[in-house]
Structure formats: structure tokens, C-alpha cells
Amino acid sequence: MALNRDKVGTTYPAYRYEVAREKIREYATALGETDPRYFSEGDDCVAPPTFAACFTVTKGGAAVFADPDLGTHPALVHGSQRYTFGERPVAPGDVLICTPRVADISVRGSNEMLVIEVECRDEATDELVVRSEATIVFLGSAPAEGDQEGAA
């Protein structure tokens, strides 16, 4: 089954994520990180850049994948991940409002590429803290040439 290209541009309900110092420590430890800023008790504590996966890929992706009209299926791989940060890194105490959306659906051979963007803003200031862009590759789901089902 092909992905529903009419879903490109669809925004899903925002969710709230509170960044906890202990979660940053756990993540940094799991990665084998040694940068003292990731373990600091002070105001200089920040999260490793890829910590954003904890609240963008998992929660934002789940919101998109829960849409029964999108046409996702389990034959997939994670193709790529990119983060764009605002003026500062993610830090303990941040309260983020994250909004997922389907940014693009494209075809490469017999596969479809779904791009999920999650924009996370500071709840108090509306400042952009991080934008995540994940590309999920759906294997073998592209419509056959000439088949218009799922095509825009």
C-alpha cells in the first residue's frame, strides 16, 4: 500500500516535553559521553545534540504513525536524521511544545521516503529550541509506474 501523499503538510497535535537533568545524564551515559557539561549540577548543564531524539523521533513519529489515513506499514528503515538548533542548546528545565508534521513524501525506486518534521519551541518564550527532520524509508510500497493510487 502506498503512502497517502495528500497528507504532506498535515500538522499533528502538539505535545509538551519537560527536559530533566537525570534524563540527560542517562542518555549521555548510554552513549558513553564524557563531556562534563552533560553531567553538571550547575547552570552549565546541556544535553548532547542527539538527545532531541528522545522527544522528537519517538513522540513526534508516534503521532504521525498513529494516523490511519497516512498508510504507514512495518516494512521500514530509518533513513536519516537531522537537527537544527535555535540560539541555545537543549537544557534541563526546558519545557518544550513540539509540533510534528509530514514535511514530504517522495518515491525512490520501489521505496517511499516519508519526511517527518518536529518543531520544538520554548513554552514560555515561543523561541525555537530544536527542529528535527527524520526520513523514514518505506520498503517496496511505492505505487507501480502508471498506478495513480496514492499519487498526488
The cell numbers describing 8, all together, are: 504532506
State the Cα–Cα distance between residues 22 and 38, nearest whole angstrom.
Answer: 10
CATH of 5-20+49-138, one of 3.10.129.10, 3.40.50.410, 1.20.120.1200, 1.20.1740.10: 3.10.129.10
> Where does the chain have alpha helices with state H?
21-31, 57-65
Cα 41 to chain center, whole Å?
A: 28
pLDDT of residue 58: 86
User: Which pLDDT tens digit goes with each residue over 56-91?
Assistant: 988 999 999 999 999 999 999 999 999 999 999 999
Q: Does 149 have pLDDT greater than 50? A: no
The DSSP secondary-structure symbol of 108 reads: E
Residue 144, pLDDT score: 75
| Domain extent listing, the chain | 5-20+49-138
Query: Is the Cβ–Cβ distance between 2 and 149 less than 8 Å?
Result: yes
Predicted confidence at residue 147, as pLDDT, reads 53
The CA radius of gyration of the chain, in Å to the nearest whole number, is 17
By residue count, the chain amounts to 152
SS3 of the chain: helix, strand, coil, percent, to 5: 20, 35, 45
Cell numbers standing for residue 47: 544535553
- The pLDDT tens digits of the residues spanning 105-145 come to 999 999 999 999 999 999 999 999 999 999 999 999 888 76
